Amino acid sequence: MTQVADSKHERIARRQVDKFDARRTELAVATLHTLAELGYARTSLREIAQNSEFSHGVLHYYFADKRDLVTEAVRQYEAVCVTRYDDVVARATTAEQLRDEFVAMFFDTLAQDAPLHRLWYDLRNQSLFDETFRADVLEIDGRREDMVWRVVSRYAELSGGTLSVSPAVVYVTLDGIFHRALLHHLGGQADTVASLRHELPGVIALLAA
């Protein structure tokens, strides 16, 4: 009977853990939007709570502190942002198609998800000062690198080219272009963004010559 009771307790406990985690995730997602809007330093827990359907007390119930909450939010970002181009890679049959679809999506998400992207850069930057997020940031950065590498190496494959630089360099180059385009996009300088868009195919070709 004890055994039965125990397993019942276990089931309940497990279910509660699930519920707990589900709620954490829910709160983290809600957090992500406010965070993206205001940036890490300017976002208060009250603000987050007000933009959600929860009280700010509940944030402290589910998260140890602000860092814990933001860390969880970053992980939610990760889920979305490290596989973005995988479909493009999967369905591409020619190098040109891959390149063009990649470029299109690249600048599409730039405009669509600008706030979310700047949050990513914000948090990656925090990790220069604060170890808290560093491990998560490095992991996500690695996955983004992998994602980009999948695109460019597939491009090389399709185009018969060879990659002369490391995944790291490929990543920082494309990410650098993205970052700069974002900066000018937010600054309202559409022409600079357009120049970068125009130049991107050539850069890809250069990397995988």
Partner DNA sequence: CATGAATGAGCCTTCATTCAT
Partner DNA sequence: CATGAATGAAGGCTCATTCAT
HSE at residue 147, side-chain half, CA atoms within 13 A, is 22
Residue 60 found at the interface with DNA (CB under 7 A): yes
Concatenated DSSP letters of 35-99: HHHH-TTT--HHHHHHHTTS-HHHHHHHSSSHHHHHHHHHHHHHHHHTSTTHHHHHH--SHHHHH
Residue 162 found at the interface with DNA (CB under 7 A): no
Residue 57 found at the interface with DNA (CB under 7 A): yes
Contact present, 72 and 63 (Cβ < 8 Å):
yes
Which listed residue (75, 121, 159, 197) binds its own copies by CB under 8 A? 121
| First vs last C-alpha separation in the chain | 70
Residue 176 found at the interface with its own copies (CB under 8 A): yes
Which listed residue (61, 108, 138, 168) binds DNA by CB under 7 A? 61
Residue 150 found at the interface with DNA (CB under 7 A): no
Count helices and strands (H / E) in the chain.
Answer: 10, 0
Which listed residue (33, 37, 54, 201) binds DNA by CB under 7 A? 54
Which listed residue (8, 11, 14, 42) binds DNA by CB under 7 A? 42
Which listed residue (130, 146, 162, 194) binds its own copies by CB under 8 A? 130
H-helix or E-strand containing 102?
A: helix 95-112
3-state class (DSSP) for residue 162: coil
Q: Is the dihedral of CA 28, 31, 36, 39 positive or negative?
A: negative
CB of 91 to its own copies, least distance (A): 28
Residue 103 found at the interface with its own copies (CB under 8 A): no
List contacts with its own copies (CB under 8 A). 38-42, 118, 121-122, 124-130, 134, 137-138, 141, 164-166, 168-169, 171-173, 175-177, 179-180, 182-184, 186-187, 192, 195-196, 199, 202-203, 206-207
List contacts with DNA (CB under 7 A). 16, 19-20, 23, 42-47, 53-58, 60-62, 65-67
